[in-house]
Amino acid sequence: MFKSNGALLFTGVKNNIMDIKEFEEKVRAHSQDFDLSLVSSTNALAGEVGEVCNVSKKMEYYKHFPTYNTRVDKEILEGKRIAHPDKLKDELGDVLFYLIQCAQRGGFTVEDLIVSQSQKLDDMSVKLNKHFLK
């Protein structure tokens, strides 16, 4: 992610650059067919976060038990991809989609969230520095 002419940008597929607002519009357009409430969107987000946790748990588990690598490779070949980085990327993409949808339902933009979180991180850094540099 980087800034260009004041707009927050991120690199997309095949190094295309997409403005966050452009991606938000894609989410909004896709979501128009579904009149989901904020509660429904947050429940969907929670479900997708659970999927991320499940994939990462399996990736960690299989890393420590090499005898399962054969099983993981077989499942990848069969298209299941239960413990594969591509599956993690897919699930994180779903989290991003529902996070943006939740922000939209709450009346916020992604940029609002980034600016707010950036300020929180700055404030936290100041507090930590004061605490540890006494």
pLDDT at 66: 56
The helix (H) or strand (E) run that includes residue 62 is: helix 38-64
Torsion of CA 48, 49, 51, 52, to 10 degrees: 130
Number of domains in the chain: 1
104: tokens are 């939209």
For β-strands 7-11 and 17-19, DSSP reports them as antiparallel
Q: Is residue 13 part of a domain?
A: no
Q: Is position 1 within any domain?
A: no
Give the tens place of pLDDT for each residue, 33-87. 877 899 999 999 999 999 999 988 888 877 766 555 566 666 655 555 566 788 8
Domain-embedded: residue 15: no
User: Do the beta carbons of residue 75 and residue 81 sit within 8 Å?
Assistant: yes
Give dist(CA 2, CA 69) in Å, integer: 37
Runs of H (alpha helix) within 65-109 = 69-77, 85-105
Residue 120 sits in a domain whose CATH number is 1.10.287
Structure tokens at 19: 């403005």
pLDDT digits (tens, 9 = 90+) for 90-104: 999 999 999 999 999
112 part of a folded domain: yes
According to the model, what pLDDT value does residue 10 have?
47
Write out the residue range of the structural domain in which residue 91 sits: 35-132
Record the pTM.
0.71
Give the pLDDT band of residue 9 (cuts 50, 70, 90): very low
**Residues 23, 116: Cα–Cα separation, whole Å:** 19
CA angle 89, 94, 100 (to 5 degrees): 125
In percent, the amount of the chain with pLDDT more than 90 equals: 43
Q: When comparing pLDDT for 76 and 26, which is higher? A: 26
Distance between CA atoms of residues 111 and 97, nearest Å: 15
The predicted structure's pLDDT at residue 103: 96
What average pLDDT does the chain have? 80
The predicted model gives 14-19 an average pLDDT of 65
DSSP class of residue 13?
A: G
Handedness of CA 31, 37, 115, 90 (dihedral sign): negative
**Predicted local distance difference test score (pLDDT) of residue 1:** 42
Is residue 3 pLDDT above 60, yes or no?
Answer: no
